[in-house]
A and B are shown apart, each in its own frame.
Chain A
Amino acid sequence: RKEVEQDPGPFNVPEGATVAFNCTYSNSASQSFFWYRQDCRKEPKLLMSVYSSGNEDGRFTAQLNRASQYISLLIRDSKLSDSATYLCVVNLAGAGSYQLTFGKGTKLSVIP
């Protein structure tokens, strides 16, 4: 089983649509969770951290379910500029260690 698994997509959605991405991780001892965004041929950029209580940043909402080892990202009112690959990222080594493990990413294309 892969350490961090995501649906690769692509997700092709019209502008204004709501889209959800899912991610599962295999190590129950994982401590920190993030969503990164990676544009084509660019470095990943942190989109948001993910907390057990769930967190929201504008049109983006992240959820964490530790019992199911499942992370989600919801994007509301999609914009053309949201087109990118979204990476689910997990700190597998636990608190105090900053080594990250990346999923392969889910590609999103927002269509006019």
Chain B
Amino acid sequence: GAVVSQHPSRVICKSGTSVKIECRSLDFQATTMFWYRQFPKQSLMLMATSNEGSKATYEQGVEKDKFLINHASLTLSTLTVTSAHPEDSSFYICSANRGNQPQHFGDGTRLSIL
């Protein structure tokens, strides 16, 4: 069964709206979660590494004020796309490590900004 849950799976909203995406690790504690973005026919690109109780580490070129990440507990990380615009439309996926096992991914959130 799923070990990482992501919600919502689909969002369609107007330009300028802020969108919050939740990523939960089920039945295990994840001190580190990862947020990725995937544009059509492109590879997954790591946006940021989310650390419980501390600030996220953003990859080069990812605006931290645009993509707010909060990892307030060992089972929940949230990504908020602030004032979203059409170019932010993408597939956003979170992942978490369960111990030393390879990452497990959430179902992803397909974001469409009109």
Instruction: Using CB atoms and an 8 Å cutoff, list the residues of chain A in contact with chain B.
Output: 4, 32, 34, 41-46, 49, 87, 98-105
1/0 contact string of B26-53 vs chain A (CB within 8 Å): 0000001010000001111110010000
Are the CB atoms of A104 and B97 closer together than 8 Å? no
A to B CB contacts below 8 Å, 9 in the list: A41-B91, A43-B93, A46-B103, A46-B104, A99-B46, A100-B46, A100-B95, A100-B103, A104-B43
Chain B, interface SS category: strand
Interface residues of B (CB under 8 A from A): 6, 32, 34, 41-46, 49, 91, 93, 95, 97, 102-108, 110
User: What is the distance, in angstroms, from B1's C-beta to the closest C-beta of chain A?
Assistant: 13
- A42: nearest chain-B partner, CB-CB: B108
Interface of A (DSSP majority class) = strand
Residue of A nearest to B59 (CB): A99
